[in-house]
Chains A and B, each alone.
Chain A
Amino acid sequence: KAGVTQTPRYLIKTRGQQVTLSCSPISGHRSVSWYQQTPGQGLQFLFEYFSETQRNKGNFPGRFSGRQFSNSRSEMNVSTLELGDSALYLCASSSFAGGGNEQFFGPGTRLTVL
């Protein structure tokens, strides 16, 4: 079974631009969560989608948004990029929504904002 895939793996953008990252969960998984990892803050939860609905949201500004498609693939969008948005963005999938589920992570997208 293929794992979680994320595209692109690397991105370089400039301040003020916007970016869209994509995540394809493990086949059959319907829940997708997004996390931001930075050296200073570590891993922080962005949001979770299940059946095309956002179920939970972390403490991030409205510039960070996401969506999920009927095939469970998810995208996250960051508008008006700031230098502080430079990070590794990780998505995780689990078989269904609910607190007891094991999360499987993708390789991440490394975003650099210049």
Chain B
Amino acid sequence: KQEVTQIPAALSVPEGENLVLNCSFTDSAIYNLQWFRQDPGKGLTSLLLIQSSQREQTSGRLNASLDKSSGRSTLYIAASQPGDSATYLCAGMSGGSNYKLTFGKGTLLTVNP
């Protein structure tokens, strides 16, 4: 059974800082790993998708890496801005033919001006 853990649960940083969010998963037989952003009371916005055959993906100031052997993924945010404040969720797609997304509990990020 896949379990996804995100550390830290909350993070507060000053504007401009580079930061790393961590995600670990127990089942390395994942199809892909996806990072999402969720603003309060809203749905999920897909940020980056890393297929199991890939090591990393980049989009603008965001870079996500995937290490299946260690069961870890990281989301790197460069030059953080107050608008980056949100909850960041990682989710692994696994389960063989009964595949589904298993989510971590998220990291609440606050970027202070």
Contact = CB atoms under 8 A, between A and B. Distances in A.
Interface of A: 4, 6, 33, 35, 42-45, 48, 56, 58, 88, 90, 92, 98-108, 110
Interface of B: 31-32, 34, 36, 41-46, 49, 51-52, 89, 91, 93-95, 98-106
A108 B94 contact: no
Contacts of A35: 101, 103
A90 B51 contact: no
A100 B93 contact: yes
B103 A102 contact: no
B100 A42 contact: no
B49 A90 contact: no
Contacts of B94: 99
A99 B43 contact: no
A33 B95 CA distance: 15
A103 B100 contact: no
B89 A110 contact: no
A33 B36 contact: no
Most chain B CB inside 10 Å of its own CB: which residue of A6, A44, A101: A101
A99 B31 contact: yes
Contact of A105 (B32, B44, B49, B102): B44
A107 B104 contact: no
Given A42-B104, A58-B100, A110 B41 contact: yes
